Structure 1
Amino acid sequence: MSIEIDWSAFVSVFIAALIGAVAIVSFYATGLRLLVRAGRIPVVSPAEFTDAITILSEKEIKRAEKHAAKAATKSPLSEGQKKIALLGAYGCFALCGAAVLAGVLLIVFNH
């Protein structure tokens, strides 16, 4: 009994996975960047768990939210440019979701 590996198939799967990963990360990073430029800085309050390594105090959370609000008002873009950046961010997030969905569909229907 011998096992043979189809190296061309292995390389094609590797390249497809690499391109997919780079595309998803690029779309997501660009979407976040455009979201920040549009003045919609995502501030996520940390979850507090009993076994958490770092728990932020209310003071630290308020300081981070104040800093995000201050940064949002400093945007040099006009209102029209902010709307275009926001639409671009949503478009990048949609492309990221479409790339993930395409990968799942390839796995489900192409085996």
Structure 2
Amino acid sequence: MNISIDWLAFLQVFGAALAAGTVVVAFYALGLRMLVRAGRAPVVAPAEFTDAITVITEKEARRAAKAAAKAARKSPLTDGQKRVALVAAYASFFLCGLAVLGGLLLIIFGH
């Protein structure tokens, strides 16, 4: 029994995985950035984990929400620019999801 490895196919899979990971992370980061520019900074409620290193308190969560609301009020962007940033954020999230869905479809039906 002789086992041989197709190194070219291995490099193709590695390159595709690296490119896909980069695209997904880039679109997600761009979407978050545009969401913040639109004045809709995501504020996440604190979660209770049994083995968490740090859990923020309700007071810290309220302070973060207040800071996000204050930053949104002080935004130098016009309402039109905020709307464009919001549309760009949703488009980036959509493209991120489309890249993930494309990868899943490639895995499922690509044989």
Please give the TM-score of this superposition, normalised by the length of structure 2: 0.95
Residue 45 in structure 1 maps to residue 45 in structure 2: yes
- The answer as to whether partners of 2:35 and 2:89 remain within 8 angstroms in 1 is yes
Structure 2 gaps, min length 5: none
Corresponding residue number in structure 2 for 1:98: 98
Q: Structure 1 residues 51 and 8 mapped into 2: Cα distance closer, same or farther (>3 Å)?
A: closer
Q: Per-residue displacement from partner, 1:27-65 (whole Å, max 9, x unpaired)?
A: 000000000000000000111134433222221111111
- Aligned-residue Cα RMSD (Å) equals 1.0
Q: Per-residue displacement from partner, 1:44-102 (whole Å, max 9, x unpaired)?
A: 01111344332222211111111111111111110000000000000000000000000
The one-letter amino acid paired with 2:58 is E
Corresponding residue number in structure 1 for 2:2: 2
Question: Identity of counterpart residues, as a percentage?
Answer: 65
How many residue pairs get matched? Answer: 111
Structure 1 gaps, min length 5: none
Residue 36 in structure 1 maps to residue 49 in structure 2: no
Distance 2:58 2:92 in 1: 33
Q: Counterparts of 1:1-111 in structure 2 under 5 Å?
A: 1-111=1-111
The one-letter amino acid paired with 2:84 is I
How far off its partner does 1:9 sit?
0.7
